[in-house]
């Protein structure tokens, strides 16, 4: 047993009136006889002012303790101890804090010279918190392999749109517009418009521009189709080979590198454009092999179908509205703090913090929009090469004489417009498909489209090759068809019924006889005379409860192609779904009629061929004024 006495350090520190700093007093030095005995130290007379003790607080509770004094004198002395816990991960870093120093160059624009790796698709997105290793690493994501598609899931105001901007700006600071191109659909909070002016961005479409949304999907799908054909023609075995060859200067005629389709707000997109969901799924299924990537944000994992989700192997989870929806770890998801946008977890069950799209070393979320604008301006000013190819849109006005003439492509038929997939002419071939149906609401351009078709028919066939029979109760086609091609014009029901009976008799006379030969069937040479085009405008006025003058033709409709009869029918889309059960129209549909759906009320449902009408610009077609395309 050893006796000891512990020091008491929690009491109030007191200096006392007689205490003074002996080290600061003068020492009297004189020679003395050296012995083994202790030598006393004699101090000079102290200054009375030095003996004045510092004032003590009247309340001992407010006075410093002995421990406080000791700690204050030890602060800043020696090497600091290792910090076990890092500061809270609640401040988003800026992009310039994740990358080596940025500097503009003539070849690559504003980029980090130490980071540039041509042909790679690695991009920084934020910081990873590794508490057991007591450090934080930069969050990198590699889009060059099987994880080339990304899915980001997060609840409202969790930072999904900001993370998309970080993704795009991260690529903009590490890749050139010749290496990566981005096409965005903004169905979130409109945040992607802040990066629309980057040279790497080919276009950003919002939910308020349905035509641009469809064209963006069609543009990316077209890139995939053309690249698939290009790989086959050039014997390119993989996208990795294509990237290496392109980085070495080959394939200069190709305007696209790795193409990214970003859909911010998958749930809203799917609700409004469900017909395009299959196209996106197809792009995700075939795209990685040809350098086409899909990046999607969603509020819940259940919003994305399994067929698409299985393709999106690169996944991140932000703060979820319901932590039970987490597919990584529900306990980790519950620990993601509320009100910290950009904070989430990785598949490795580690927390991360997404970076802000800025390069000013700032962290204030209130100034992020202005900082992103400055980043876009700096990147655009430093790049002198061509930007990413823009999304091509259908022209606002298309002159009818800009289309191929009716006689220019007899093997394809007659041109009636241009499609939004490849922006190439759309043809209708009445030689193989004798039925053409047009649906649209009032003032949507049905009659104008008929005028264009008539113009093309007249250019394609001579007066002895084609005759036109018109049923037009409103007389909107009066004077449109020249007398050289006009056979009959029926403005009332009785006249149309008379002509329908005559046409039915003609079809019966032209029907194949029992002695017809196989060669005559192939050449359709057992009858002579012109083809007959039956044009009906405002079919809803023709087919009424009192009867339909065209009903007599129903039995002979299957033989229309063989006997030279063609039908062009325009109907109002209101009530069109019910009209499809009418005998004549139902038979036309069963025979595989072609069709076009113009502007109309989506509430009518699928009016024709699984297509639901929607808002479109009117189709105004004539031979000299400009004409507007629709769907």
Token pair in block for residue 604: 């009518």
The answer on whether 159 is annotated among ligand-binding residues is: yes
The answer on whether 441 is annotated among ligand-binding residues is: yes
Q: Is the dihedral of CA 167, 170, 172, 177 positive or negative?
A: negative
Specify whether the CB–CB gap between 250 and 278 falls below 8 A: no
The answer on whether 157 is annotated among ligand-binding residues is: yes
Q: What residues pair up with 103 in beta bridges, in sequence order? A: 111
What is the 3-state secondary structure of 583-617? Answer: HHHHHHHHCCCEEEECCCCHHHCCCECCECCCCCC
The answer on whether 443 is annotated among ligand-binding residues is: yes
The answer on whether 446 is annotated among ligand-binding residues is: yes
Nearest to 394, CA basis, from 224, 624, 210: 210
The answer on whether 579 is annotated among ligand-binding residues is: no
The answer on whether 447 is annotated among ligand-binding residues is: yes
Nearest to 304, CA basis, from 265, 264, 266: 266
Token pair in block for residue 235: 């014997």
Alpha-carbon span 114 to 96, nearest angstrom: 13
Residues 6 or more apart whose Cβ sits within 8 Å of residue 626? 397, 398, 399, 620
Backbone phi, then psi, for 219, in 5-degree steps? -65, -45
Specify whether the CB–CB gap between 360 and 154 falls below 8 A: no
Nearest to 510, CA basis, from 523, 528, 522: 528
Alpha-carbon span 499 to 623, nearest angstrom: 29
Token pair in block for residue 176: 């050139």
Geometric angle at alpha carbon 503, from 499 and 505, rounded to 5°: 120
Q: How many CA atoms lie within 13 A of 541 on its CB side?
A: 15
For 144, other C-beta atoms within 10 Å of its C-beta total: 17
Place of tokens 């024709």: 608
Ranges of beta strands (E only) in 473-583 are 486-490, 531-537, 565-572
The answer on whether 156 is annotated among ligand-binding residues is: yes
The answer on whether 249 is annotated among ligand-binding residues is: no
Alpha helices in 235-345 (DSSP H): 239-247, 266-272, 277-286, 306-309, 330-334
Torsion of CA 564, 551, 608, 612, to 10 degrees: 140
Residues 6 or more apart whose Cβ sits within 8 Å of residue 275? 610, 611, 612
Question: What's the Cα-to-Cα distance from 211 to each of 225, 294, 357, 449, rounded to whole Å?
Answer: 21, 20, 29, 20
Q: Binding site: which residues?
A: 154-161, 440-447
Q: Binding site for ATP: which residues?
A: 154-161, 440-447
């Amino acid at each position: 047993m050893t006796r000891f006495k512990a020091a008491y350090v929690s009491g109030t520190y007191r200096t006392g009136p007689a205490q003074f700093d002996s080290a600061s007093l003068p020492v009297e030095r004189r020679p003395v006889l050296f012995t083994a005995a202790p030598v006393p130290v004699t101090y000079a007379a102290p200054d009375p002012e030095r003996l004045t003790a510092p004032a003590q607080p009247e309340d001992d509770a407010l006075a410093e303790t002995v421990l406080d004094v000791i700690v204050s004198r030890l602060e800043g002395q020696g090497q600091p101890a290792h910090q076990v816990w890092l500061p809270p991960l609640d401040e988003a870093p800026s992009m310039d804090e994740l990358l080596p120093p940025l500097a503009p160059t003539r070849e690559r624009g504003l980029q980090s010279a130490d980071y540039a790796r041509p042909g790679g698709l690695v991009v920084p997105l934020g910081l990873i918190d590794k508490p057991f290793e007591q450090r934080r690493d930069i969050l990198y994501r590699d889009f060059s392999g099987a994880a080339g598609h990304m899915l980001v899931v997060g609840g409202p105001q969790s930072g999904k749109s900001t993370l998309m901007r970080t993704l795009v700006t991260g690529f903009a600071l590490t890749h050139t517009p010749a290496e990566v191109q981005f096409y965005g659909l903004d169905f979130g909070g409109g945040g992607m418009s802040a990066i629309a002016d980057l040279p790497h961005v080919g276009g950003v479409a919002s939910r308020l521009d349905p035509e641009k949304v469809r064209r963006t999907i069609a543009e990316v799908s077209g890139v995939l189709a053309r690249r698939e054909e290009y790989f086959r023609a050039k014997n390119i075995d993989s996208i990795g080979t294509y990237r290496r060859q392109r980085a070495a200067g080959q394939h200069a005629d190709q305007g696209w590198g790795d193409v990214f389709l970003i859909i911010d707000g998958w749930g809203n997109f799917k609700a409004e454009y469900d017909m395009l969901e299959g196209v996106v799924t197809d792009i995700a299924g075939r795209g990685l092999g040809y350098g086409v990537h899909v990046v999607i944000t969603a509020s819940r994992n259940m919003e994305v179908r399994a067929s698409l989700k299985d393709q999106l192997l690169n996944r991140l989870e932000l703060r979820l509205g319901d932590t039970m929806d987490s597919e990584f770890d529900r306990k980790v998801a519950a620990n993601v703090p509320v009100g910290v946008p950009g904070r989430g977890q990785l598949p490795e069950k580690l927390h991360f913090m997404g970076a802000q799209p800025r390069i000013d070393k700032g962290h204030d979320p209130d100034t992020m929009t202005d900082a992103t604008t400055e980043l876009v301006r700096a990147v655009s000013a430093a790049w002198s090469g061509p930007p990413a190819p823009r999304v091509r849109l259908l022209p606002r006005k298309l002159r009818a004489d800009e289309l191929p003439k009716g006689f220019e492509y007899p093997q394809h038929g007659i041109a009636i417009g241009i499609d939004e997939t490849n922006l190439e002419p759309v043809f209708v071939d009445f030689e193989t498909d004798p039925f053409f149906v047009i649906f649209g609401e009032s003032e949507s351009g049905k009659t104008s489209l008929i005028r264009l078709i008539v113009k093309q028919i007249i250019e394609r066939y001579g007066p002895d090759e084609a005759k036109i029979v018109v049923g037009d109760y409103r007389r909107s086609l009066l004077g449109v068809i020249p007398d050289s091609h006009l056979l009959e014009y029926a403005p009332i029901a009785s006249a149309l019924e008379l002509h329908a009976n005559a046409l039915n008799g003609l079809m019966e006379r032209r029907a194949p006889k029992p002695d017809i030969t196989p060669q005559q069937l192939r050449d359709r040479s057992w009858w002579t005379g012109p083809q007959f085009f039956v044009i009906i405008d405002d079919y809803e006025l023709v087919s009424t409860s009192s009867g339909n003058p065209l009903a007599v033709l129903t039995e002979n409709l299957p033989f229309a192609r063989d006997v030279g009869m063609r039908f062009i029918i325009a109907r109002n889309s209101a009530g069109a779904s019910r009209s499809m059960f009418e005998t004549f129209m139902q038979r036309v549909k069963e025979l595989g009629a072609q069709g076009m759906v113009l502007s109309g009320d989506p509430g009518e449902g699928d009016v024709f061929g699984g297509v639901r009408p929607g808002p479109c610009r009117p189709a105004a077609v004539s031979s000299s004024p400009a004409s507007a395309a629709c769907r």
